Copies of this chain bind each other. A is one copy, B any other.
Amino acid sequence: MGISNDAVEIRTQGWRRLAALHGLIETGLEKELQTAHKLSVVEFTVLDALSRQDGWHMRMQQLARAAALSSSATTRLVTRLEDRGLLTRILCADDRRGIYTELTPAGLQLLTLARPTHDRVLEESLTEAEKIPELKTLVSALHLTQINPI
């Protein structure tokens, strides 16, 4: 396939593989996080993002970006987690439009329980993906990603 060295074709194939790998990992995580901790992947992502934040609080829009979600979805996601007592809404003092979401002790505890599951499934999924020829290269590339300061 000499002609398919075309840049468009390379990009398309890269995207297909990226999507495939993403789907593989997400589906695995979704199932196990759900059954073991009653958490969806985005819910875990939000709790995890909060725990990595100084003071454990973030604004709605930051959260939306971190979870790759629309603001309306973020509103309802936060409401869900708040109803379960995993985080709380706190009004901004300086900008009264804004709302901080803060991890509660219960939220941190659940996150601590869920992390091992998350890490294990992630490792298993990557191992699984490495057996698929089209995905092997991409998985290695993921490993090689250097750790940057954010």
Interface residues of A (CB under 8 A from B): 1, 4-5, 8-15, 17-27, 45, 68, 118-119, 122-123, 126, 133-134, 137-138, 141-150
Q: Are B10 and A143 in contact (CB under 8 A)?
A: yes
Tally of this chain's copies: 2
State the main secondary structure of chain A at its contact with B: helix
- Given the known interface contacts A12-B119, A19-B68, the answer about A144 and B145 at a Cβ–Cβ threshold of 8 Å is no
CB distance from A125 to the nearest CB of B (A): 9
Contacts of A25 in B (CB 8 A): 15, 18
Going nearest first, the 5 A-B pairs with the smallest beta carbon separation are: A23-B68, A141-B141, A14-B142, A22-B22, A8-B119
